[in-house]
Structures are given as structure tokens and as C-alpha cells.
Amino acid sequence: MTSMNPVGVALFCAVSLWLARMWIREARENPQGGALPGASSCPWRAVVIAVAGTLILLALETWGEIRLGISAEQKDVSWLALPMFAAAAFTEEVIFRGYLVVERRGNVLRWASIILFSLIFALIHDHLWSFEMPEDRSAGTLAAIWEGFSLNLSLKGFFSTGFIFVGALWFYFVRFFKWNPNASLLAPVAAHLVKNLAVFFIKLAQGHVTGLL
């Protein structure tokens, strides 16, 4: 089971709530766009399209895992993952779909950056690798830390990473598509939140949520 530090989760959620409060205030004061990226108004149809597309992708991913016989290989989580998943939906969107994109330099550079950062977003999720701090840390040297990394080049690893990549492309797309004229982050945030909550409850239904912490 993937363990989580309750203090770390609480701090992460607190920072996410503070950032969300600032973002909402900016969006209300400047509907056309504030200082924070994507802090602007968003038509409800854009939110509906974003969420619907995400649920279709998640349904395909879940079906694919079952058909390939790899659904049992997903990681176990605790109930503490639920608030973490919810907070991450907002924070990750502000960082990736907000700050990590090249804007006002033309569509070619924008979509090149979208593909690059979507790939980075997929790879930082630990499906193709894992990390465990060595017991003998040798005063925290880089060599000792590097020893804690190991690759997981399995079908499940590539399958999950691939769907995260496609999902990241979708989150970028719904921020910049024509039904979201102010490039608001509200649409991708809503889609990401629904996906994360759905993933948690799919894990729960499949018996991969174990314990409170």
C-alpha cells in the first residue's frame, strides 16, 4: 500500500485551499482574466464537455485494464488519499495547465509546449518507476538517493502512463478550446477533480482502498 504522511497531506491540502481561495477571488474580480493563470470566468457547457470527455477516457482506461488483466496490479491507497486526490486536482492544474504552457507565441509553440509538459506530467507519476529512500543514506549524497530509484517497465506501467499523457492533453485542450473563450482553468480543474474522485472510488470498489492512513 502507498503510505501517506498525515501531516504532509494536511499541509498540502491547506496550501491548495489557500491557493484556490486566491484563484476564486481573482476570477470574481476579473472575469476576463486575473494575475493567476486561468483565473477567469468559464461557460458551464465547457465544464460539462471537459468532465464528459474525462469520464469517457477513464471508462476506456478501466475497461482496458480489465481486458488486459492488469487491474489487480494497481496500487493500494488509504482513505487519506481522498483529500489528497481532491487537492491535487486543483494544484496540478494551476502548475501544469496554468504556468507550464507557452502562451502568446503562436499555436505551434503552444502545442509543442503542451505535448512536452503533458509528457513530463505523465512521467512524474510513479507508474514506470518507484523510489524508496535507502536505509543507509550516506549523509544524503546523490548516489545514495539514486540507489533508491528503480524502474517498472511493465505493461501496467506503460498503459497507465499513456492514459495520463492523453488525459493531460485533454486538460490542456479544454482550457484552450473555443467553448472556453477566457482560457479559464475551471474546466480542466473540474474535469481533473471528477477524474481523481472517480479513480478513488473505482479503487474502493475493486478492493484497493485499505486502512485509514
40-62 pLDDT, tens per residue? 999 999 999 999 999 999 999 99
Q: 19-28, 83-92, 134-143: which range is least confident on average? A: 134-143
Q: Does any domain span residue 211?
A: no
Q: Does any domain span residue 63?
A: yes
Helix H or strand E segment including 130: strand 129-131
Q: Does any domain span residue 191?
A: yes
Region 163-188: what's the mean pLDDT?
96
Residue 37, phi-psi category: left (phi > 0), alpha (psi -120 to 50), beta (remainder): beta
Domain of 31 in residue numbering reads as: 6-205
What is the pLDDT, as a whole number, of residue 130?
80
Q: Does any domain span residue 142?
A: yes
Q: Does any domain span residue 1?
A: no
What is the pLDDT, as a whole number, of residue 103?
85
Give the pLDDT band of residue 144 (cuts 50, 70, 90). Answer: low
What is the pLDDT, as a whole number, of residue 52?
98
Q: Does any domain span residue 68?
A: yes
Cα angle, residue 57 at apex, residues 178 and 13 outer, rounded to 5°: 85
Region 189-213: what's the mean pLDDT?
92
Per the structure, the count of domains in the chain is: 1
What is the pLDDT, as a whole number, of residue 142?
66
Between 103 and 12, where is the model more confident? Answer: 12
Question: What is the spatial distance between Cα 96 and Cα 88, in angstroms, rounded to a whole number?
Answer: 11
Q: Does any domain span residue 210?
A: no
Q: Is residue 154 predicted with pLDDT exceeding 70?
A: yes
Q: Does any domain span residue 213?
A: no
Give the pLDDT band of residue 141 (cuts 50, 70, 90). Answer: low
Please list the residues that pair with 151 across neighbouring strands.
129
Grid cell, residue 23, equals 484563484
Judge whether 94 and 20 are in contact, CB under 8 Å: no
pLDDT in tens, 16-41: 999 999 999 998 888 887 788 899 99
Region 118-135: what's the mean pLDDT?
85
Region 201-205: what's the mean pLDDT?
93
